[in-house]
Amino acid sequence: MKSFNTFRTYSLVFFILGLFFIAGCDWFSKSDKTGSCAGSNVLLEIKGKPALTVQEYEEQLDMARKANAQIDMLIQMMPNAEKDIIFRGMTTAKLMQAWAQEKGIDKSEEFQKQRKQLHEAMDSQLYMKHFDEAHPVEVSDSDVAKYYEEKKDVIPALTVTPGGVDISFVRFEDKNKAEQFLTKVKDVKKAAAFKTMAEESKQTPGTAVINERAPFADALKNAVLEMKKFPMIKIIKVSDGAYWVVLATGKSETVYRDLKNPEIHQGLKKMLADERKGQQLESILENLKSELNVVEHPEYFENKMQQNQQATQEESEEFDEQQAPEQV
């Protein structure tokens, strides 16, 4: 049991380290040398020198909290999480750092290369963050309302019940059988009666709402959507040679999700903001390319594509040769 608890504790420790890494903070590089921490309230000493202060701990905890809500959830769920998990996680990181420095690993060419790559990646995140903050996008409630009207028939999540022509149907492979069934149901007005008579005739009836997006053959959809009076019953031949006896009972209006729902409103607002930001970004980047005299050289990618195609062709030819029967 003790070994299991130890494993679980260290799993949480490394989980916390992962959250600090995801936060994009330069925590590991902030104190490259053990003892470089500022402040008098020392939380951790290594070889007699301060390695972690209260100030550094709180700064990094605050940064991680802003980057990942799971930190706050962890603290709320576990009263001792700060000491037993977060502080232990930072201690673990500091010990690993001290070990690497003792071994001279941080001076190796591979370590320096990886550090440079990591710093460049973090710098890129910061550049994008500041660029994004410098070019905000405004979306008003009226913008969201207009967007809702434009997109309510396009975004499936906004539809509660699709509108269209309500039909009941039976599909036949044989035209004569379809006509015989039509004769039986020609005076039927209601879907329930149609269903009963179909089952009595040993047929399998179905129901559907037909609109432009309905997953039915175009011949069927077009014939149904052209109907003007209801109820109406007729045979419709579709492209696969089948004959459908269709009873159209009327039209139903589409029921949409309410824009007043905060979740719907906020979701559409974010969607519209993202669209506008993408359009704005494209325009700004084109202007920047012109201002900064940016020149792209795509020949590399064209050559690389040709090389990949050639390699694929050679592999295919080699495979064909291996599969060809040997000549006797």
- Domains identified in the chain, total number: 2
For the full predicted model, state whether its pTM sits above 0.85. no
Q: Are residues 89 and 169 in the same domain?
A: no
In whole angstroms, what is the distance from residue 297 CA to residue 302 CA? 10
What does the pLDDT read at residue 165? 95
Q: Which of 253, 268, 294 is the last residue of a domain?
A: 253
State the DSSP H helix or E strand holding residue 101, giving kind and residue range, or none if neither. helix 87-103
Domain region containing 191: 163-253
Q: Give the count of alpha carbons within 13 A of 287, CB side only.
A: 6
Q: Which residue, 254, 183, 258, is CA-closest to 214?
A: 254
Cα–chain-centroid distance for residue 2? 40
| pLDDT digit string, tens, across residues 272-326 | 999 999 999 999 999 999 999 999 999 999 999 999 999 998 888 888 778 776 6
CATH number reported for the structural domain that contains residue 182 in this entry: 3.10.50.40
- 94 contacts: CB under 8 Å, gap ≥ 6: 34, 44, 46, 51, 52
In whole angstroms, what is the distance from residue 288 CA to residue 290 CA? 5
Q: Are residues 171 and 95 in the same domain?
A: no
Q: Which of 204, 235, 253 is the last residue of a domain?
A: 253
Establish if 280 belongs to a structural domain: no
| pLDDT digit string, tens, across residues 52-80 | 999 999 998 888 888 777 888 888 888 88
What tokens were used for 281?
């970004």
Establish if 298 belongs to a structural domain: no
| pLDDT (average), residues 27-48 | 64
Q: Which of 199, 234, 253 is the last residue of a domain?
A: 253
Establish if 191 belongs to a structural domain: yes
Establish if 140 belongs to a structural domain: no
Q: Are 219 and 163 in contact (CB under 8 A)?
A: no
Q: Are residues 77 and 170 in the same domain?
A: no
Q: Are residues 92 and 167 in the same domain?
A: no
Q: Which residue, 211, 207, 208, 206, is CA-closest to 156?
A: 211
Cα–chain-centroid distance for residue 180? 52
